[in-house]
Amino acid sequence: MDDHNSQDSDSNANRSPIWHSLHLWQMQPVRDVLLGLGVFALILVAQRASVVTVPLMLAILLAYLFEPVIVWLMDRFLISRRTSVISIIAGLILFVAIPALIGSTYAVGQLVSFGTNTFQRIDNVNEALRLPEDEAIEYLQYTIDPQSTPSSVAEDPENTARSKADNWIWIHNQIRRSQTEGTTFGNTCNAAFDWIEQNRDQVATTAAGVGMGAVKSGLSLLGAAFGISFMLFVTVFFFFFTSTEWIGLQKFGTTLLPDKNRDRVIDLLVKFDRVISGFIRGRITIAFIQAIVFSIGFFLIGVPGAFILGPAVAILSIVPYLALIGVPIAVSLLWVQGYAGFRGELWWVIGAPTALYFLGQALDDYVWTPMIQGKSTGMDTPTILFASLAGGALFGVFGLLIAIPIAACVKILIQEVFWPRFKDWAEGRAADPLPIDD
């Protein structure tokens, strides 16, 4: 009798409670929705605190990428993990950050000089258009070769005592005088001066507004520079502690997996790691080498801002054939630069950047990728290109960077999880093709 009563009590305990006696948060569908909302809220909080979360995530990514290097240094030189991490940080500062800063400073100066010369040429052409044809040709020739002598003053006895530079200054003054005396352009200038004189207060207010805008832009630039410097410092700070405690982080992550499917999940994560680490480490290494190749190549063929354009094209080369965007940019810069000699010829302006691109692409396809990356993603070129374009269309530059690893992981999921279940369903061994437990 007692056994019968105990069985009834056990059956009552195992029996599910009636739904109308439950609290709202005790219902499983509601709990699932609350869990999803909690994850979404966590993402929003992380986005709001991006000044901390972004460096932290970047530090975790860097620790993940540099883990093989850290282990190699420990085994090769018999040093501790902390010493290995410090050595990597010092190496990055000495051999990456400082050369990049020096190269970018030189490139910015080169681009500023290029812009100044370009505007000067535009001004020279504008002045030459107001001269007779023969004097315009001579004037433009002087802008290229200041040692030439203008024929319009060569036979003037009063000008024989003046230097060549003084002769061209005289011509320049004559051009200015002809622009403002007795011409439509001169009348327009006089009318403009009169309007400015009559509206001095408005012009002064506008000028002050422009000045304040320039000051605000300068302060914004300084703020952005400070923000970037702060994020870099925080990233290095987090990278040090994340790398030194990487093994502990891995163990902690393993404890978060459910016991029921832990072995299966770990097996998939190992395969994901093989694909993602191989692709990211390989492409970053290749991009670093390509940055050196393209920077030196653009510098040798005479492209202004070579040490900015080169790394930019190398970053684009992470996506197959996207570095092709650098060709029209380099051609335009070379054409506007207006070099004398063979570097100013059309065949060089078009052919040199094109040849450099194909050289870099050939090195990528036949040297760097087979030697460094190999077949880590297990995907062919059309699939990689499609995934890159789709990721860029959906999420911009961020999508371009993550598209290929995600596509490779999706391929693994299809091969390991979805396809076997689909085959079982197609052959009548499963009720539906979804790999979800009943």
Please report, in angstroms and rounded to a whole number, the separation of the first and last CA atoms in the chain.
Answer: 37
pLDDT score of 391 more than 60: yes
Structure token digits, residue 48: 């709001």
Half-sphere exposure of 163 (CA within 13 A, CB side): 5
Q: Give the pLDDT confidence score for residue 160 in this predicted structure.
A: 46
Residue 321's pLDDT band (boundaries 50, 70, 90)?
confident
Q: Which two tokens stand for residue 3?
A: 């056994």
Mean of the per-residue pLDDT values for the chain?
75
Say yes or no to pLDDT of 88 above 90.
Answer: yes
pLDDT tens sequence across 178-219: 444 444 444 555 555 566 666 666 656 666 665 666 667 667
pTM to 2 decimal places: 0.63
Distances (CA, A) of 156 to 28, 159, 173, 348: 101, 5, 16, 42
What is the residue extent of each domain of the chain?
Answer: 51-117+228-256, 131-184
Of 22-31, 171-180, 295-304, 401-410, which range is least confident?
Answer: 171-180
Distance CA 313, CA 344 (A): 23
Confidence of residue 128 (pLDDT cuts 50, 70, 90): low
Pick the closest to residue 360 from 291, 301, 299 (CA basis).
291
Gap between the Cα atoms of 198 and 175, Å rounded: 28
> Which one-letter amino acid corresponds to residue 164?
K
Q: Give CA 322 to chain center in angstroms.
A: 12
- In three state form, how does the secondary structure of 140-153 look? HHHHHCCCCCCHHH
pLDDT tens-digit series, residues 291-309: 999 999 999 998 888 888 8
Q: Which residue's entry shows tokens 């914004």?
A: 220
Q: Which tokens go with 405? A: 């690893």
